[in-house]
Structure 1
Amino acid sequence: MLDYLVFIGRFQPFHLGHLKVIETALQRAHKLIVICGSARQARSPRNPWTVAEREAMLRAALPAEWQERVFVVGCSDRMYNDQQWVTEIQNLVDKVIAVDTASLGSREAQFRVGIIGGTCRKEAYYLDMFPQWQRIEVAELPNLRASELRGEIFDDAGVRFERCTARLPGPVFAWLQAFRETESWRTLEAEWRFVRDYRRAWEGAPYPPTFVTADAVVIHSGHILLVRRKHLPGKGLWALPGGFVDQDELIRDAVIRELREETRLKVPAPVLAGSIRTSRVFDHPYRSMRGRTITHAFLIELTPTGEGLPKVRGSDDADRARWVPLFEFNRMEEQLFEDHFYIVNWFLGQI
C-alpha cells in the first residue's frame, strides 16, 4: 500500500473514467493527490471550468468516506517547457504531503509515492516524466473522451447533452445542468458556436488546413506591448499583436504589418525590423481551437530613447493596446489568449 498516489488530468469535465481511476487509486494508496492541469488559463470551450469548479464536480461524485483522502490542486500547463511543468508538479506534491503530515512533526520521514494514469500511450506520455514514482496504469473505459463530452455539453439544442448521462457521474451531470444557466456558460457557448462554424467552413478542403500566423513580443523598458481582442474567439482577452500571414508576404514582414495595424505603434517599420532579436516557432497541436495553427513569434526589443514608452492605440482587430509592466504581466495568465502567456515566458527566459 502506497502512502500517496498522484493523478494528473484536466478533468474538463470530470467523467466516469476519472472516477474509475480514483477508485483504483484509493485501493492502492492511503491518499490521492489530484492535480488539475490548465489551472490558470482563460475560460474557453476547451478549458471551460476553473480549478475550483472542477474540484466541485469531482467532490460531488465522491462518496463521503473518500473526501478526506483526496486532495485537489491546480497547475499551469507550461506548454513549451516540460521541465518547468515537471518541477511545478513535484513542488505541488511536496507541499501537499508537507501540509498533510505537519502534525507528525518530522519532515525527514520517507513516504511511498506513486503516479496513476491511463494506458493510452499518446495521452499518458507524461507518466514517463516521473521515474522516481511507482507507476500504476488503469485501462480506459471505451468510447469516453472529454473532448467529445464537451461537444455534447455545448450542444445548444440540448439533445446531445442529455446523452452525457451514461458517461458522467449523476452529481456531475446535475452540476453541469446548473452551470448551463450561468452567464459564464452563455459566453462559452457563443464562442463554441463560433469555433464550430469556423471549422465547418474548412470541411470541404482536400486536407485538414494548417494555418500560419505571426506574433510580436515587443519589449521596452521592462514593459510588454499587448492588445485586447475585439472579436471572437477570445473576445476581451489580452493577446500579443499578430495575425495570419498573407499569401504574398514573408513571415517577418507579416509580424511588422500586424504589429503596426493593431497597435498604431509610433515606431518606423525599418526600426522595428532592426530591433528583432530572435524568433521561434510555436506549434503545440492544441494551441488554438480554430484548428492546426502554427505561429512564428518574434522578440522585438526597443531601445529606450529618453522619450518614454512609444504611444500606442488599439486598431484593426484590437479594441485596446497598452504597455504592461512585466511584473504585472506575470500575474495575467488567466487573462491571456490561447498560449500567449507561455510564448512570452519562453522568450523572457532567453533574455
Structure 2
Amino acid sequence: MREFDYLIFIGRFQPFHNGHLWTLQHALERADKVVVLCGSARQARNPMHPFTVEDRERMMRLALPEDVQSRVFVVGISDRMYNDQQWLTEVQNLVDRVIAVDNSDVGSRQAQFRIGIVGPPRGARHADGGVAIGGAKRGNAEYLELFPQWQRVEAPELPDVHASRVRHAFFDPEREGDWPACAALLPPPVFAWLNAFRASETFANLQSEYLFLKRYRQSWAAAPYPPTFVTVDAVVIHSGHVLLVRRRSQPGKGLWALPGGFVHPDERIKDAVIRELREEARLRVPAPVLAGSMRANRVFDHPQRSLRGRTITHAFLIELAPTSEGLPKVRGDDDAERAKWVPLFEFNRMEEQLFEDHFYIVNWFLGQV
C-alpha cells in the first residue's frame, strides 16, 4: 500500500525534461495517483511559454511507461498574475474536481483522502526561476508552503537540468550546436517530439519572436545597468465592451492588446495614455472627455510581466458614458493593425489571444468596479 492516495505536482514543464520525469516517477512511487497541474495554461504562446497544455501532456505521456498512464491526471491552470488567492482557490477546485471524477462521486472530497504535494527540497533553487504561483515566480521550494493542508513530499532534484537551457538551444540559431546535447536532458521520446515541432510554422513564429527579443535586449546590453521601461495601457470600457487593438509587429505579433505604449521623456503619464489611444485606436472621443472619464489607475509592476525586460506600466480605467450614437468609431493605426470593441463576455474567453498580462489587467479593473 502506498503512502498517499494522491500527490499534487505543480509546474510549467516548458518543456517536460528529465528533472520533471524524475520527480513524477518519485511521486508515482509514493502515491496511487498523481495530479499534475500545468501552469500558464491559457497564456498565449511565447518563447518562455511555447507549449500548450495539450503539448505538455503529450510530452509527459510519451515519457511515461504505459502501465502508469492511468495513474496520472494532467490538468491546466491559468495564471492569476495579480491575485494569488484566486489562483490558490483554483488549485483547490481543480484537485477537488479530479478526485470527484476519479471516484465517480461528486460527493467525494479531499478530506476523505491522503493527499500530499510533491516538490524540490527546502532551499532548492535553480536557473529556471521556480514555479509560477498566480503568475508570480517563487523559489522552487517556497511555493509548497502555500498548501499547509497537504503533506509536503520532497523529491531529490537532478543537477543541471534546466528548462531555460533547453529553450535557448531550441530557439537560438547561434546555439544550434548545443541542441544535440539537450538529448541528455530530455526523455528520448520528448527530444524526438521537439525535433518534429521545430519543423512547424508555430516554431518559426516563436523563433522569430525569440530573436526579436534577443536583439531588443542586446540593444541596451552595454548600459551600465539594465533599464526599467515605463509604459501606459488604457482599459477603455463602453456599454459592456472593452477596446482592444491587434499588434502589428513583434513581440506578440497578431495578439490582441490594450492600447498603450512607452511614455515619452517629455510627457506626463495621463497625457501618454490619451496620446496612445489616439495614435493606436484613432478613438473618436475628445481628449478632455477621455481625461474626465478616467475612473481608476494602478501600477502593474510584476517583474516577469514582459519578456522585453523590466517594464512597469501605468494602466488607467476609462469608462465612457453611453450615447445615442453607440460605440465610438475606432481604427487600428501606428503599432496596431486593427482596433475593435469586444463584448466583455467574449473578452473573458480570449485569454490565449491576449498579449503579456493584459488579460489580467482588465480583469483586475473589472473586479474593482
Partner residue of 1:165?
183
Partner residue of 1:322?
340
| 1:45-84 to 2 correspondences below 5 Å | 45-84=47-86
Letter in 1 for 2:197: F
Partner residue of 2:364?
346
Q: What CA deviation, in whole Å up to 9, does each residue of 1:115-163 have, x standing for no partner?
A: 1112336233321221111111223322222122211111225322112
Partner residue of 2:207?
189
Q: How many residues are treated as equivalent by the alignment? A: 350
Partner residue of 1:26?
28
Partner residue of 2:131?
none
Letter in 1 for 2:156: A
Distance in 2 (CA, whole Å) between partners of 1:78 and 1:126 is 15
- Corresponding position: 1:142 with 2:144: no
Partner residue of 2:38?
36
Distance in 2 (CA, whole Å) between partners of 1:151 and 1:274 is 47
Partner residue of 1:113?
115
Partner residue of 1:90?
92
> Which runs of no fewer than 5 residues in structure 1 stay unpaired?
none
Distance in 1 (CA, whole Å) between partners of 2:71 and 2:202 is 31
Say whether the 8 Å CA contact 1:26–1:32 is kept in structure 2. yes
User: Mean Cα displacement is larger for which, 70-79 or 119-128?
Assistant: 119-128
Residue from 107, 129, 134 that aligns with 2:146:
129
Partner residue of 1:175?
193
| Helix, strand or coil at the partner of 1:102 | coil
Q: CA deviation at 1:106?
A: 6.0
Letter in 1 for 2:31: A
TM-score of the pair, normalised by structure 1 = 0.97
Say whether the 8 Å CA contact 2:244–2:258 is kept in structure 1. yes
| Helix, strand or coil at the partner of 1:57 | helix
The CA RMSD measured in Å over matched residues stands at 1.4
Distance in 2 (CA, whole Å) between partners of 1:141 and 1:269 is 57
Residue from 285, 301, 323 that aligns with 2:303:
285
| Helix, strand or coil at the partner of 2:173 | coil
Say whether the 8 Å CA contact 1:241–1:263 is kept in structure 2. yes
Letter in 2 for 1:308: G
| Helix, strand or coil at the partner of 1:218 | strand
Residue from 142, 146, 153 that aligns with 2:170:
153
Partner residue of 2:135?
none
Say whether the 8 Å CA contact 2:100–2:107 is kept in structure 1. no
Say whether the 8 Å CA contact 1:154–1:161 is kept in structure 2. no
Distance in 1 (CA, whole Å) between partners of 2:142 and 2:277 is 37
Partner residue of 1:271?
289
Distance in 2 (CA, whole Å) between partners of 1:231 and 1:343 is 21
Letter in 1 for 2:24: I
> Which runs of no fewer than 5 residues in structure 2 stay unpaired?
126-138
Q: What CA deviation, in whole Å up to 9, does each residue of 1:299-321 have, x standing for no partner?
A: 11111122101000001100000
Distance in 1 (CA, whole Å) between partners of 2:163 and 2:23 is 15
